[in-house]
Amino acid sequence: MKFDDYYIAPQIKKNLALLGFKKPTDIQFKSIPSILKGEDVLAIAQTGTGKTAAFAIPIINNIQASKIKNRRDGVKCLVMVPTRELAIQVAEVFTEIARFTDVTTFCIYGGVEQQSQIEKLEHGVDILVATPGRMFDLISQGYLRLHRINTLILDEADHMLDLGFIEDITDIKSKLLQRHQTLFFSATINKDIKRLAYSLVSNAIRIQVSPKDPVSENVSHSVVFVEMDDKRFFLERFLKDNPDSKVLVFVRTKVRAERVLKAMKRVGLSSSTLHGDKEQHERATLLGDFKTGKTKVLIATDISARGIDVPNVDFVINYDLPDKSENYVHRVGRTGRGTQKGQAISFCSKDEKIILDNIEGFLGNNIEIMAVSNLEYEQTKDLSSDSTDDWQSLLDMDERFEKKKKKK
């Protein structure tokens, strides 16, 4: 089936053709008809399979059809997402697909001045993409009214519900039109979160794609056993062996991201960090530079693990294994998106072995072990350009970073 065969507005078909969308992905094929009919949907699919377009296409179509009959102002669809970066990205997808329609999209998030957002809302938008903090602020101040919203979407729904927003979401739903549509989309969901999701809807259609393997078959993943203090040497060697590759490196904390950045700088390797202590404009610039390839290596916390669509990421390096097993899926899903191939490599220390076991249990498969001989291991350390073996100096750097952060 092709998009031309769907009963959707011709303007949307034109936009999809310009974007290179010819045939729907599995999640789009299974979701779009139910959403067009106004049904509640709980959809679970691997990262990089086109989940955003799966709900954007039918929602834009339905709003476009309603505007022909009744051009009432006010937000008609609310999309809740967990991070600012994801809000921007989701809004961009809606805007691209709605290009030749009368449907308008806007996103709001914290970390920036709110007056321009208020003015935009007062001017009127059809689809609002929002992070919870700023959204609740604007609701409480009376600038965001929910009375005309007939569709509520939770993107990365498991994370939203896991963050404890269940009561807030219930309160929001009570303010919507009596008859409204609720959509949940995510790459991972556990039984407790699934129960919460079902408590918020009535007779939801459950759509699940590739449930046995949450990681796309386009991603090959492996693990190498490395002592915690030696990870910097292995990252250095990897980056020097792959100088032209786009590499996304995940670490556990903001402090650790800055530490790895400094370690790479000492050996002449350029990289950038992305984490919650960065101002929003700086985060947008960093992510933009990584997307365009101006920055080849981005060291990030899990703020970038969910939903961010960066083209042509060749490698994901789990410098630290994630505390939550499902975050492994979201991390490695930053590569191998769409029809592209990608590779994910995890550095696992002795202390992280139990985390690795939990991840493998979550995946239902063992991750391939990348064997490193004792000779190769020692050579990797010996050939490093880093003469700083005194980790006390690195801890001092961390302390200075924390003091600087507190002053801000």
pLDDT in tens, 263-304: 999 999 999 999 888 887 888 888 889 989 999 999 999 876
DSSP string of 11-69? HHHHHHHHTT--S--HHHHHHHHHHHTT--EEEE--TTS-HHHHHHHHHHHHHHHHHHH
Beta-sheet strand order (sheet of 315-318): 272-274, 297-300, 247-250, 315-318, 342-348, 219-225, 368-369
Q: Which two tokens stand for residue 267?
A: 């050996």
CATH number of 314's domain: 3.40.50.300
Listed residues 208, 229, 254: the one ending a domain: 208
Residue 245 counted as domain residue: yes
pLDDT 10s digits, 306-331: 656 788 899 999 999 998 888 898 89
Residues of the domain holding 303:
219-407
Domain end (from 208, 235, 265): 208
Same domain? For 248 and 346 the reply is yes
DSSP string, 257-301: HHHHHHHHHHTT---EEE-TTS-HHHHHHHHHHHHHTS-SEEEE-
Q: Are strands 219-225 and 368-369 parallel, antiparallel or unpaired?
A: parallel
Do 328 and 203 have their domain in common?
no
- Would you say residue 213 lies in a domain? no
If one counts the domains in the chain, the total is: 2
pLDDT mean for each 10 residues of the chain (408 residues): 89 93 91 94 83 95 79 83 88 95 94 91 92 91 91 86 78 86 85 79 79 73 95 96 95 94 94 86 87 93 72 93 88 83 95 95 90 92 72 52 55
